[in-house]
Copies of this chain bind each other. A is one copy, B any other.
Amino acid sequence: MSTEPRITISRIAAEAGVSVPTVSKVVNGHPDVADKTRARVEELIRKFGYRRRADQRSQRSRLLELMFHEIESTWALEIIRGVESVARENGMSVVLAESSGRHTPAHDWLESVLTRRPVGIVSVCSDLTAGQLAKLRARDIPLVVIDPAGQPGPETPSVGATNRQGGLTATRHLLDLGHRRIAVIGGPDGVLCSRARMDGYRTALEGAGQAFDPALVRRGDFHPRSGYRQLTSLLALPDRPTAVFAGSDLQALGVYEAARDAGLRIPQDLSVIGFDDLPLAGWLTPELTTIRQPLRQMAAAGARLAISLAQGRVPDSHRIELATSLVVRDSTAPPAGHLPSRTLSGGPR
């Protein structure tokens, strides 16, 4: 392959039957090229594997694009701060966009990105379509996904937390305290991080020789309302759970409200563990035991990876997972009338 002549922009132009400036416009994201021509040129760029030379790549603007599925809660804030700090370190600025809750960014967002010629894109919980990915590749704009909703292909590097391990640790902590009826409220079914946490929950129960009871497994989204609704329904079970592993700290907040409305005290009557370790975890009463995921560091790692890809470096791995950890506070305790017999993880404060 390396002995083949280098693919030039003139070669692409000749193949496409268009002028060199037209190919150049497509590569540089100028808007004034007919859709059909643009598609043909993009197809040839892909086919021949044309890449801009490094010195041309340096002509990019010093912008890093940050694309959110949903800007809500301090979760998003931690991500923003992580990306912003790395951008600033590198003399770059962050362009922020939100896809209004959809897990695929809109067409016009991508078009505006292409005209800006950014250093790279960091996308949060948002997976691009194959067509969108091809457009970015044709222009040599690297994409890194943080906490991908689905499983991205090896051509899309991603950064996440060790969600399965987090689910395992959370469930083991409750088992260690002596709980046997442990409910779990997950996030949306299709979302990767949520499925991984659920796997961890299941593995921990199996490891402790506990039966998996589907009645104790609920799904919702990551917002308080969903925690409220699911705990209310769990408390209506004939044999109610004594502990709940919530899918996020925000969901745990809804669990708190539902427990209070049902006259249950946390942790005496119900243990609750969250996920994320947002600032609010330390503000709740009682303070929330939770699984910490290092959101700011994840975002910073994603931004650094995008920048290093833009510099032509090859990543060691297309998937980076940062460690989760158990933060024991006041919302978990042995079930009423139980003395803990053993400690696999966590332990008394």
Copies of the protein in its oligomer:
2
CA distance A298 to B253 in the complex (A): 28
* A:54-83 near B, CB below 8 Å: 61-63, 66, 71-74, 76-77, 80-81
**Is B71 a contact of A283 with CB atoms below 8 Å?**
no
Contact with B along A243-257 (1 / 0, CB 8 A): 000000000010011
CA distance A62 to B61 in the complex (A): 14
Residues in B neighbouring A94, C-beta threshold 8 A: 95-97
**Is A95 a contact of B97 with CB atoms below 8 Å?**
no
A112 interface hit (Cβ, 8 Å)? yes
Residues in B neighbouring A257, C-beta threshold 8 A: 283
A208 interface hit (Cβ, 8 Å)? no
Residues in B neighbouring A260, C-beta threshold 8 A: 285
**Is B77 a contact of A74 with CB atoms below 8 Å?**
yes
Instruction: Please tell me the size bucket of the interface on A.
Output: 20 to 34
Residues in B neighbouring A289, C-beta threshold 8 A: none
Partner of A73, one of B66, B72, B77, B256: B77
Q: A72-B77, A283-B253, A285-B285 are in contact. Are A108 and B93 (CB under 8 A)?
A: no
CA distance A262 to B290 in the complex (A): 26
Of all chain B residues, which has the CB nearest A100? B88
Chain A residues within 8 Å of B, Cβ to Cβ? 61-63, 66, 71-74, 76-77, 80-81, 84, 88, 91, 93-98, 108, 112, 116, 224, 253, 256-257, 260, 279-280, 283-285
Query: Can you give 18 contacting A-B residue pairs, CB < 8 Å?
Result: A62-B112, A63-B95, A71-B81, A71-B84, A72-B77, A73-B279, A84-B96, A88-B97, A91-B108, A91-B112, A93-B96, A93-B112, A94-B96, A96-B96, A224-B283, A253-B283, A260-B285, A280-B283
